[in-house]
Chains A and B, each alone.
Chain A
Amino acid sequence: MKIAVCVKQVPDTWAEKKLKADTSTLDRESADGVLNELDEYAVEQALQLVEANGGEVVIVTMGPERAAETLRKAISMGADAGIHVLDNNLAGSDAIATSAVLAKALEGRDFDLIIFGSESTDARMSVIPAMVAERLGLAQVTFAQKVNVDGTTLTAERVTDYGFDTLSATLPAVVSVVEKINEPRYPSFKGIMAAKKKPVETLTATDLGLDPSVVGAGAAWSAVADFAARPPKPAGVVISDEGSGGTSIADYLTTSKFI
Chain B
Amino acid sequence: MLNAELRIFQQMVRSFANDVVAPVIGDHYEARTFPYEIVSQMGDLGLFGLPFPEEYGGSGGDYFTLCIAIEELARVDSSVAITLEAAVSLGAMPIYRFGTKEQKEKYLPSMCSGQMLGAFGLTESGAGSDAGGTKTTAVRSEGDWVINGSKAFITNSGTNITGLITVNAVTGTRPDGTKEISSIIVPSGTRGLTVGPSYSKVGWNASDTHELAFDDVRVPLENLVGAEGRGYAQFLSILDEGRIAISALAVGLAQGCLDESIKYANTRMAFGRTIGTNQAIAFKLADMEVRTYTARLAYYDAAARMLRGEDFKRQAAVAKLYSSDIAVTNAREATQIHGGYGFMNEYPVSRMWRDSKILEIGEGTSEVQRMLIARDLGVN
Output the nearest chain A residue to B272 by Cβ-Cβ distance: A235
Which residues of B sit under 8 angstroms from A235, Cβ to Cβ? 269, 272
Contacting pair B11 A189 (CB below 8 A): no
Chain A residues with CB under 8 A of B65: 189
Within 8 A of B (CB), among A27-86: 34, 68-69, 72-73, 76
B9 CB within 8 Å of chain A: yes
Q: Is the interface of A mostly helix, strand, loop or mixed?
A: helix
Would you call A257 an interface residue if the criterion is a C-beta within 8 Å of the partner chain's C-beta atoms?
A: no
Query: A32 → chain B, closest Cβ, in Å?
Result: 8
Q: Which residue of A lies closest to B68 (CB)?
A: A189
- The reply to whether B272 and A192 form a contact with Cβ atoms under 8 Å apart is no
CB-defined contacts of B9 to chain A, threshold 8 Å? 187, 189, 192
Given A34-B11, A73-B11, are A189 and B4 neighbors across the interface (CB < 8 Å)? no
Residue A188 CB within 8 A of the other chain: yes
A187 and B12 form a contact (CB under 8 A): yes
| A102→B27 CA distance, assembly (Å) | 46
Residue A250 at the chain B interface, CB threshold 8 Å: no
Q: When each residue 181-215 of chain A gets 1 if its CB lies under 8 Å from chain B and 0 otherwise, what string results?
A: 00000111110110110000000000000000000
Interchain CB contact under 8 A, B59 and A190: yes
**Which of A68, A186, A193, A196 lies in contact with B12, CB distance below 8 A?**
A186
Bound-state CA distance A210–B332 (Å) is 59
Stretch of B42-50, B281-289, B335-343 at the chain-chain interface: B42-50
B61 on the A face (CB < 8 A): yes
Kindly list chain A residues whose C-beta atoms are within 8 Å of the C-beta of B16: 186
CB-defined contacts of A72 to chain B, threshold 8 Å: 4-5, 8
From A73, A188, A195, A196, contact of B44 by CB (8 A)? A188
Q: Does B7 contact A (CB under 8 A)?
A: yes
Interface size on A, residues (CB 8 A): 16
In the assembled complex, the CB of B205 is this many whole angstroms from the nearest CB of chain A, namely 26
Complex contact A196–B59 (CB within 8 A): no
Decide yes or no whether B60 CB sits under 8 A from chain A: yes
- Chain B minimum-CB-distance residue to A12: B11
Minimum Cβ distance to chain A for residue B11 (Å):
7
A233 to chain B, nearest CB (A): 10
A76 cross-chain contacts in B, Cβ below 8 A: 8
Q: Mark B28-55, 1 if CB is under 8 A from A, else 0.
A: 0000000000000000111100100010
Q: Does B345 belong to the interface (CB within 8 Å)?
A: no
Residue B15 lies at the interface, judged by CB distance under 8 Å to chain A: yes
Q: Which of A34, A73, A187, A193 contacts B60 (CB 8 A)?
A: A193
Contacts of A186 in B (CB 8 A): 12, 15-16, 45
Q: Would you list which residues of chain B between 4 and 26 have a CB under 8 Å from chain A?
A: 4-5, 7-9, 11-12, 15-16
A196-B45 Cα distance, complex, nearest whole Å: 18
CA distance A189 to B45 in the complex (A): 7
Residues of chain A within 8 A of B60, CB atoms compared: 189-190, 193
Q: Decide if A192 touches B8 in the complex (CB within 8 Å).
A: yes
A78 to chain B, nearest CB (A): 13
**Contacts A188-B44, A188-B46, A235-B272; is A69 near B12 (CB within 8 Å)?**
no
- Closest CB in chain B relative to A179 CB, distance in Å: 13
Smallest distance from the beta carbon of A51 to chain B beta carbons, Å? 15
Q: Which residue of B lies closest to A40 (CB)?
A: B15
A188-B45 contact, Cβ under 8 Å, with A73-B11, A193-B60, A235-B272: yes
The distance from the CB of A84 to the nearest CB of chain B, in whole angstroms, is 13
Q: Are A69 and B7 in contact (CB under 8 A)?
A: yes
Q: How far is the CB of A46 from chain B (nearest CB, A)?
A: 19
Per the bound structure, the CA–CA distance linking A189 and B12 in Å amounts to 9
Residue of A34, A68, A193 touching B5 (CB-CB under 8 A): A193
Cβ contacts under 8 Å, B11 to chain A: 34, 73
Specify the chain A residue showing the minimal Cβ separation from B41.
A186
- Chain B residues near A196 (CB, 8 Å)? 5
Q: Which of A69, A76, A187, A189 has the most CB of B within 10 A?
A: A189
Q: Which of A73, A186, A190 has the most chain B CB atoms inside 10 A of its CB?
A: A186
Cα distance A190–B54 when bound, in Å? 9
User: Could you say which residues of chain A place their CB within 8 Å of the CB of B4?
Assistant: 68-69, 72
Q: Give bound CA distance, A187 to B47, whole Å.
A: 11
Whose C-beta in chain B lies nearest to the C-beta of A196? B5
- In the assembled complex, the Cα of A72 lies from the Cα of B11 at a distance in Å of 12
Q: How far is the CB of B15 from chain A (nearest CB, A)?
A: 7
Q: Which residues of A contact B7 (CB under 8 A)?
A: 69
Bound: A68/B45 CA distance, A: 23
The smallest C-beta distance from A82 to any residue of chain B, in angstroms, reads 13
The residues of B that contact A189 with a CB separation of less than 8 Å are 9, 45-47, 50, 59-61, 65
29 A-B pairs within 8 Å (CB atoms) are namely: A34-B11, A68-B4, A69-B4, A72-B4, A73-B8, A76-B8, A186-B15, A187-B9, A187-B12, A188-B45, A188-B46, A188-B59, A189-B9, A189-B45, A189-B46, A189-B47, A189-B50, A189-B60, A189-B61, A189-B65, A190-B46, A190-B60, A192-B8, A193-B5, A193-B60, A193-B61, A195-B5, A235-B269, A235-B272
Q: Which residues of B contact A (CB under 8 A)?
A: 4-5, 7-9, 11-12, 15-16, 44-47, 50, 54, 59-61, 65, 269, 272
Q: Beyond A186-B15, A190-B54, A193-B61, list 18 extra A-B contacts (CB 8 Å).
A: A72-B4, A72-B5, A73-B8, A186-B45, A187-B9, A187-B12, A188-B44, A188-B45, A188-B46, A188-B59, A189-B60, A189-B65, A192-B5, A192-B8, A192-B9, A193-B60, A196-B5, A235-B269
**Which A residues lie at the B interface, using CB under 8 A?**
34, 68-69, 72-73, 76, 186-190, 192-193, 195-196, 235
What are the nearest 6 A-B pairs in CB distance? Answer: A189-B59, A188-B46, A189-B46, A73-B8, A186-B12, A188-B45
